[in-house]
Structure 1
Amino acid sequence: MQITISLRYLLIAFFCFTIFAPTRLSAEEPAFDPSRLEVTTLEIGLKQPMELEVASDGRIFYIEIQGQLKVYDPKTHQSTQIGEVKVTTAQENGLIGLALDPNFDRNGWVYLQYSPPNYEGQHVSRFTLVDGKLDNTSEKLLLKYEEQRRDCCHHAGSLEFGPDGCLYIGTGDNTNPFGDSQGYAPLDEREGRYYFDSQATASNTNDHNGKVLRIRPTPEGTAEIPAGNLLPPDGSKGKPEIYVMGCRNPWRISIDQKTGYLYWGDVGPDAGAESPRGPRGYDEVNQARQAGYFGWPYFIANNLPYSHVDFKTGKVGEKFDPAAPINESVNNTGLRELPPANEAFIFYPGSGSDKFPELGSGGRTACAGPVYYYDATNPSQTKFPPHFDRTLFIYEWTRHWIMAVHLTEDSQIESIEPFMPNQRFVRPIDLQFGPDGALYMLEYGETWGVNDDAKLVRIDYIRGNRPPTAIAATENNTGRQPLPVKLSSAGSADKDGDKLTYRWQAFRAGDVDAKPIVLSDEANPEVVFQEPGVFNVELKVTDPSGAEAVASVPVIVGNARPNVTFVSPQDGDFFDSKSKIHYQLQVNDIEDGTSDFELADETGAPEIDLEAPRRTALNLTMGSGSIPRGGADGASDSDPVGLRLMKKSDCFNCHAVDSVRVGPPFLKVAEKYRGQENALEASMKRVREGSTGVWGKVPMLPHGQHTQDEIRDMVSWVYSLEPNSAVRVFDGFVGDIELTPEEVDKAGYVQLEANYLDLGAEEIPPLVGTSKIYLRKRKVEAEAADEISGPQTLGGHKASGGNFLGAINHGNFACFRQIPLDHVGALTFRVTSAGSGGYIEARLDSVDGPVIAKAKVDVNGSWENFHDVTAKIKPQTGRHDVYVVFVNPQNRGGLMNLDSVTFQPPAE
């Protein structure tokens, strides 16, 4: 009997543990494998995307700041614009918030937060989709709130529904953070400085700005005040829509759909160090379980207090009390006594965080949400695994990362884990989980503006056997016979770790009946082609389960590609309007000869090929920003995903963007097919399967190594190309180019690309040799330095490129590589300082190298009024790395801001 009772209690205990214990693993799922997280690009070419929502049928709705509402259809794999609202985009305004009604499948209601041109503030409205299109006449205005548009910044903008049917609305403090605030709390109460005082907005109970608002939309298209908001619903103590206040820039909010807790990222101020005014800048991720006050502009992070400041005299007073904050600003129209301040859930500065070291260092733009719950009953095979059950995803627009914050049953922080740390997300701006349990994301792109690399992506967790990846490459794949060719399968792999088998075979182009020529079963063989011809060399890799992947590379035998080099100028030289760009090209071709082009006729007597200079073209284009990193065809992180895929494939072996190689220029392809119905699918089919005779004798090789999504990205990038009216073309091997002062002032760099088309060899088509160099502007934006150690890239409206290097401390440096110093006589630094000031030393080739110039930076009392200081350099020869080192051993923190460096020409 005793044994029976013990067994019974054991069974009961086991049952209770099974039911109530927190679960990270499922009996149906193996352990979490990070390599099974895969990113698929759904759409490229987005223009400043803001927010997205995923409908229950898998359609993805998203907005762009200029006012467009678009939807991506997973069935057609295409986006369509389904509506537009008129907006102003002044001072970061526009279409900034999107939400679908909880009953969207039934009623088709869409909620938009936008900036009307004829109203100084924001509208939050409900619209109805009619026949899949936004019906502008159906607008129901739920809420409008005023903002100032005279000064920058912080409009935030974000809409989310909670599980209770309430609509949450993120609003920024709408306060100018610059000027005499010096990167600390903007508390300027002087007359005429209302826009520099966040006490008038974020901590004002009678103002909608600097808050997360909460309303309950009604079926009639009005809004009710739900129970549980911060202030009474009758408006007696302030705006009744306020749920949380004391926010600076809550531009991404999210609601836990199980707990109803509100999460948001709050973008913090710029101060780089503590001072009597208060703490350095922090960004926050906040959690609100109920209505409350979150401190700005009196407190930040874990309630670190700022001090009273008299902006007339600069006198710093007592610190604010988080237990009993008081708003005594002359600009406050609400309550004087505020609720106790809540501490931030997660907080981090620009430098590394002791409390949250996983978050790293750098610029800061915090975003929060969503929260994921694993659903074992969801039949989707791509849903996120149990490892992420009850996990808050936070992300960084500036630092390009996503973090998985694992939560306890009580929604406290259990751990923080980098999410896909080897994947660089290009400024994630919104995340949402779909009904399939996959994560959908908008990537804004590299800069604040319209970006070629803005895109919509999906992240899946792939289960089961995965096919291998085939990558084929060649070394010496063009030349005269006999042609030794090294074939490489480097990069080919099986994601499940299975051993692969290899098969290399060649197909002669144009001979559809010929059997393939088996070349080798080795992974990286070297083979010799004895006969001239155009060949498609195919690599097939197979895993033990029979899953295959194929990659192809071209081999052209019988004609060597010509070699084109620049005699002058050299890569990295300066350009300006005071001197012409003199260019001289050298061409060497095994079959045709050299730049002299003395060809032998049938009798052996030399003759001059008068057409050779005409088959030589020099293209000049000007680009903005700094010289591209990654080289002519080298993949760069800033490239659109389609271009990155093409650079890693064989595309640029046969094509260039705007000149003939083996195949047509990509610009010609784009012009021929863009806008034609079904053209994208037809081009994808030709890329995948290959084609002959569309553009000439040389066939398009099949590209079975790429997935449908990858080919779509590649072809979509080609279709996105537009003719560059700024391209200037020059013929011949030698010439001079003049640039106007206006061209030099506008350009960030000059790109020179030389192309020479050879004569071909019998049946072998002509080939193009190409060489590309970049010329640099004498004025270089500081944030474009090749290496930055210590300073942060910050935004500023008075900075020449919109950004500058700030938070500069003693010993920090920026490096500019391979500067032709024999063409430099002085260095001009564009600087400002409201901190410690100090010196800038220019050192040769290392941070400890000899000092070639030294400039003093005095304190001018401003962090944004830049001015020039110039230092002559000692005469140098050749190219050197120039290290710009910031020095102030007495006052080591908050030295200065650096906007640009100008490498002045030597005195004549």
Structure 2
Amino acid sequence: MPSSNLICLLLCLGTVLAPFTTLTAEEPPFDPSRLEVTTLVTQLKQPMELAVAPDGRIFYIEIQGQLKVYDPHKRQTDLVGEVVVTTAQENGLIGLALDPSFEDNHWIYLQYSPPEFSGQHVSRFTLVDGKLDMSSEKVLLKYEEQRLQCCHHAGSLEFGPDGCLFIGTGDNTHPHGDSHGYAPIDERADKFPWDAQKSSSNTRSYNGKVLRIRPLADGTYEVPDGNLFPKDGSQGHPEIYVMGCRNPWRINVDQKTGYLYWGEVGPDAGGDGPRGPRGYDEINQAKKAGNFGWPYFIADNQAYHDVDFATEKIGAKFDPAHPVNESPNNTGIRELPPATEAFIYYPGAAFEKFPEVGSGGRTACAGPSYDFDAANPSTTKFPPHFNRCLFVYEWSRHWILAVHLTGDSEIASLEPFMPDHKFTRPVDMQFGPDGALYMLEYGETWGVNDDAKLVRIDYVRGNRPPSAVASAENNTGKQPLAVRLFSNGTKDKDGDDLKYAWYAHRAGEEKPTPQLLSNDANPEITFEEAGVFNVELKVTDPQGAEAIASVPVIVGNARPQVSFVSPRDGDFFDSLAAIHYQLKVNDVEDGTSDFEEADETGAPEIDLEAPRRTAVNMTLGTGSIPRGPGGDVSDNDPVGLRLMKKSDCFNCHAVDGLRVGPPFLKVAEKYRGNAEALEASVKRVREGSAGVWGKVPMLPHSQHSIEEIRDMVAWVYSLEKDNAVRVFDGFVGNIELTDAEVEKAGYVQLEASYRDLGAGEIPPLVGTAKLFLRQRKIEAEAADEINGPRTLGGHTASDGKFLGAINHNHFARFNQIPLDRVGSLTLRVTSAGSGGRIEARLDSLDGPVIASALVEVNGSWDAFHDVTCPMEPQAGRHDIYLVFINPERQGGLMNLDSVTFAPSK
């Protein structure tokens, strides 16, 4: 895996176009909008590599030791087996490959870290009845590593077209210490883990290499011709194909040419210095065996200087034509093969040679090559536009590039691939037999992520059905009720003109007859009679494909308006003071809770029984303030939630509050543990239902497939309350928090509700208001905007996460902080890099500096400590920009764990 101190972000894609590709007679011109992403599996736990079987099954591994398989025909994921591993220092289950004859022999290869062995095993297992037969293990190769210090274990397996197995191994060298982000060549007696000359440039070390072997049927292997050193081992390990690697943690082999590609995670130095060049990441190509230079050279063979770490005296540059390893830690030959330049390389800053890569953090990965097969019957295979393309990707910058290759596999052009789609840390990708691209997304942070998933990218041909989005304005109230209906967001991916039809389905009828309301896209309809209606939008394209969405309309009763007089959204909460709340309710039929307003306007006062219909729910939440479902669709959402956001579900339901239908949490609580409930719910959603939860019927959702509805219902059933809800009655009250609650809570959620009296046959309606109160201590990763730094995981950080990979002029923004209640800032920081300053700026990046803290280097990336700085008095609420400053040494400044907005004394 990449070192956590390498990871940061800021993607800025270029726009160079790919060269013209000759099309077959059957293929229309390439249309980027036809590339579509489908989520197959969610809730993965630190996925590492995948392999697609000839029958379409996708095998993938998780670092904790799990081997799983997704069956696209059953739409089901199963645990195939589990190996026991250590996950210390980025170890674990790190490599996966299927045998070239997998259909017949069911052999699968795993690269993993046994707890009892200080190194890695590369083993072959047999699948028996779809499960990993642990007794079948054949250990092909094992190699040792130093485990005194972290890290760079890499790990990746890939078969070439000739049956040879390539094995990626890291340099097994601590990336920091006295190297300052340059070449780690510390030869002092006690600094063995900080010397990559022991591994990458050591011909008798398996570390810092890509190995190549040919597995044999008996569970052993032979060394193929063409590796870097003779088979007799006289110069180095004969299994070495490529040496001089730092962290080749993603490798791939072009199945047409046999050429090896890998991503090389580079060092941290932010600028050129006396010791040599700044850090670069590399995409490398090996058409034959070779030495790729680390730790003496980087990028296009830019050379580092020899350094005496005892005296810090800087010596001569290393010679790429004649590299020499004179380290006392070297056990191999002294004179090494000449160094080979990188295929593609880039620093953290924007880079003129390859502008398409953008800028930001660096974690380069090499993906598969693609060759268009006209005979492949798949309708979702990638088009000939991508013929002879190498796909490379960035774990830190979240992008994918298609590298168009010439006939001799040189670079023709670099093309951003799906630049408008956010990939969340792509970690491995392979093409399947269907010509579609399968990808593992690791998720947002360094650790375990809820948004880790397996996805498929198809190129969709032919007519595509439209998508329908319906919304309404003023859809609840007294009759006559003028309702504005909107189809905004409805679209046809093929650009066809759509026909619109709005229908009203009246609730309460056994078989409601739909009434055509309008054929306009955005009509205004006046409902004269009281009643409950479901209004359906149907859109149809010229080929007859259609889509449906719906919204509720309730005529005859106005929804009550609820608001908090106090507190305000975003206020702080403290254990020293109770949370005082005051509500205001206005209801057309029932009256108002504001008696002064009633006296002034003549509106009725809400009767004395109303407090029984009024409640304030308090929930303590961990982590940052949630943004909540029902909003914009996020690619990080579980597949069921994504489908629901694209449908009409949140028009009628909320997760934990009343709308027209029941809260989804109530649904989950009612049916959880009932084995037959899920399929019954799927049937009701598909076909429609009435009377299950109230008078308002649910329309059929035939626009969704059974599988889609099953995903949606499964997401609802998965919901659970994180914390107990405390309920308070009345319009005014005080909520006491204990010190323990304040210590535990990341935020307080207050949700007020008022249920009115209804109006005749029209059911009661509920008005709600919600706000969030925040801790004075805010986790850095919970900032409202993070520009540059990355959210990483660490056991010494509060909440297990922090902002790292921070460079000069990176920033984090916190919205609308009540600064009139703040007297100082406490920043929890640490630095083993360059250090610098953190400036708190008011309302904009160039706003006035109201506080400033010096962050000194303390030699550790995880020894967090507090730095407190006074803040100039401010009035009201403001956005705060925390800007990280070090113009002299711009890379690897510090880590930030949290920010505390301490009260005025």
TM-score by length of 2: 0.90
**2:614–2:752 contact (8 Å) kept in structure 1:** no
Residue 894 of structure 2: aligned partner: 897
- Counting only pairs closer than 5 Å after superposition, residues 431-510 of structure 1 correspond to structure 2 as 431-510=429-508
Amino acid at match of 2:33: S
Moved more, 406-415 or 754-763: 754-763
Distance (Å, rounded) in 1 between the aligned partners of 2:645 and 2:783: 25
Residue 162 of structure 1: aligned partner: 160
Report the CA distance shift for 1:119/1:888 in structure 2 as closer, same or farther (over 3 A).
Answer: closer
Secondary structure of 2:538's match?
strand
Residue 98 of structure 1: aligned partner: 96
1:165-219 CA-to-partner distances (Å, cap 9, x unmatched) read 1111122222222333333332233333322222222222222222222221111
Secondary structure of 1:574's match?
coil
**1:56–1:435 contact (8 Å) kept in structure 2:** yes
Distance (Å, rounded) in 2 between the aligned partners of 1:157 and 1:553: 51
**2:886–2:893 contact (8 Å) kept in structure 1:** no
2:807 matched to 1:808?
Answer: yes
Shift of 1:520: 0.2
Shift of 1:452: 2.1
Report the CA distance shift for 1:499/1:23 in structure 2 as closer, same or farther (over 3 A).
Answer: closer
Of 569, 579, 584, the match for 1:571: 569
**2:592–2:606 contact (8 Å) kept in structure 1:** no
1:392-437 CA-to-partner distances (Å, cap 9, x unmatched) read 1111122222111111111111111111111111221111111111
Instruction: Name stretches of at least 5 consecutive residues in structure 2 with no aligned partner.
Output: 1-18
2:625 matched to 1:627?
Answer: yes
Shift of 1:791: 6.1
Shift of 1:76: 1.6
Moved more, 539-548 or 28-37: 539-548
**2:614–2:731 contact (8 Å) kept in structure 1:** no
Secondary structure of 1:822's match?
helix
Residue 522 of structure 2: aligned partner: 524
Distance (Å, rounded) in 1 between the aligned partners of 2:248 and 2:82: 25
**1:629–1:636 contact (8 Å) kept in structure 2:** no
Residue 405 of structure 1: aligned partner: 403
1:555-577 CA-to-partner distances (Å, cap 9, x unmatched) read 22233333332233222222344
Moved more, 352-361 or 877-886: 877-886
Distance (Å, rounded) in 1 between the aligned partners of 2:515 and 2:659: 26
Secondary structure of 1:451's match?
coil
**2:617–2:751 contact (8 Å) kept in structure 1:** yes
Distance (Å, rounded) in 1 between the aligned partners of 2:312 and 2:685: 67
**2:208–2:244 contact (8 Å) kept in structure 1:** yes
Shift of 1:151: 3.1
Distance (Å, rounded) in 2 between the aligned partners of 1:842 and 1:421: 33
Residue 12 of structure 1: aligned partner: none
**1:189–1:331 contact (8 Å) kept in structure 2:** yes
Distance (Å, rounded) in 2 between the aligned partners of 1:613 and 1:28: 69
- Counting only pairs closer than 5 Å after superposition, residues 173-184 of structure 1 correspond to structure 2 as 173-184=171-182
- Counting only pairs closer than 5 Å after superposition, residues 210-249 of structure 1 correspond to structure 2 as 210-249=208-247
Shift of 1:60: 1.4
Instruction: Name stretches of at least 5 consecutive residues in structure 1 with no aligned partner.
Output: 1-20
Shift of 1:527: 0.7
Residue 105 of structure 2: aligned partner: 107
1:343-397 CA-to-partner distances (Å, cap 9, x unmatched) read 1111112221111111111222211111010001111111111101111111112
**1:179–1:862 contact (8 Å) kept in structure 2:** no
Distance (Å, rounded) in 1 between the aligned partners of 2:472 and 2:727: 32
2:169 matched to 1:171?
Answer: yes
**2:630–2:654 contact (8 Å) kept in structure 1:** no
Residue 9 of structure 1: aligned partner: none
Report the CA distance shift for 1:482/1:785 in structure 2 as closer, same or farther (over 3 A).
Answer: same
1:3-53 CA-to-partner distances (Å, cap 9, x unmatched) read xxxxxxxxxxxxxxxxxx996311211111111111122222222222211
Secondary structure of 2:288's match?
coil
Distance (Å, rounded) in 2 between the aligned partners of 1:882 and 1:527: 45
TM-score by length of 1: 0.90
Amino acid at match of 1:905: A
Aligned length: 881
Shift of 1:758: 3.7
1:473-503 CA-to-partner distances (Å, cap 9, x unmatched) read 1122223332221111111122221111111
- Counting only pairs closer than 5 Å after superposition, residues 4-43 of structure 1 correspond to structure 2 as 24-43=22-41
Shift of 1:863: 6.7
Of 669, 687, 690, the match for 1:689: 687
Distance (Å, rounded) in 2 between the aligned partners of 1:129 and 1:887: 54
Residue 616 of structure 1: aligned partner: 615
Report the CA distance shift for 1:121/1:692 in structure 2 as closer, same or farther (over 3 A).
Answer: farther
Secondary structure of 2:263's match?
strand
Q: Which has the higher contact order (CA 8 A, sep 6+)?
A: 2
Report the CA distance shift for 1:110/1:166 in structure 2 as closer, same or farther (over 3 A).
Answer: same
Distance (Å, rounded) in 2 between the aligned partners of 1:303 and 1:739: 62
Shift of 1:263: 0.9
The Cα RMSD (Å) is: 3.1
Residue 542 of structure 1: aligned partner: 540
**1:782–1:805 contact (8 Å) kept in structure 2:** no
Secondary structure of 1:714's match?
helix
2:512 matched to 1:514?
Answer: yes
Residue 250 of structure 1: aligned partner: 248
Q: Among the aligned pairs, what percent are the same residue? A: 72
- Counting only pairs closer than 5 Å after superposition, residues 592-741 of structure 1 correspond to structure 2 as 592-595=590-593, 608-610=607-609, 612-613=611-612, 615-624=614-623, 626-628=624-626, 633-636=631-634, 638-673=636-671, 682-706=680-704, 710-725=708-723, 728-739=726-737
1:764-820 CA-to-partner distances (Å, cap 9, x unmatched) read 3333333332333333444554445666777777665644355533x6654333121
Distance (Å, rounded) in 1 between the aligned partners of 2:338 and 2:719: 55
Amino acid at match of 2:870: K
1:457-486 CA-to-partner distances (Å, cap 9, x unmatched) read 111111112222211111222233322211
Distance (Å, rounded) in 2 between the aligned partners of 1:805 and 1:22: 41
- Counting only pairs closer than 5 Å after superposition, residues 74-153 of structure 1 correspond to structure 2 as 74-153=72-151
Residue 420 of structure 1: aligned partner: 418
- Counting only pairs closer than 5 Å after superposition, residues 269-308 of structure 1 correspond to structure 2 as 269-308=267-306
Moved more, 309-318 or 81-90: 309-318
Residue 4 of structure 1: aligned partner: none
2:199 matched to 1:201?
Answer: yes
Shift of 1:607: 8.3
Distance (Å, rounded) in 1 between the aligned partners of 2:460 and 2:513: 37
Distance (Å, rounded) in 2 between the aligned partners of 1:619 and 1:179: 48
Shift of 1:659: 4.1
Residue 16 of structure 2: aligned partner: none
Shift of 1:719: 3.5
Residue 5 of structure 2: aligned partner: none
Distance (Å, rounded) in 1 between the aligned partners of 2:678 and 2:415: 39
1:595-642 CA-to-partner distances (Å, cap 9, x unmatched) read 4799x9xxx998844473465141313232x43457874545643343
Residue 261 of structure 1: aligned partner: 259
Amino acid at match of 1:423: H
Secondary structure of 1:358's match?
helix
Report the CA distance shift for 1:523/1:826 in structure 2 as closer, same or farther (over 3 A).
Answer: same
Distance (Å, rounded) in 2 between the aligned partners of 1:314 and 1:614: 75
Residue 871 of structure 1: aligned partner: 869
Report the CA distance shift for 1:769/1:310 in structure 2 as closer, same or farther (over 3 A).
Answer: farther
Residue 391 of structure 2: aligned partner: 393
Secondary structure of 1:587's match?
strand
Secondary structure of 1:432's match?
strand
Distance (Å, rounded) in 2 between the aligned partners of 1:547 and 1:177: 57
**2:615–2:727 contact (8 Å) kept in structure 1:** no
**1:470–1:705 contact (8 Å) kept in structure 2:** no
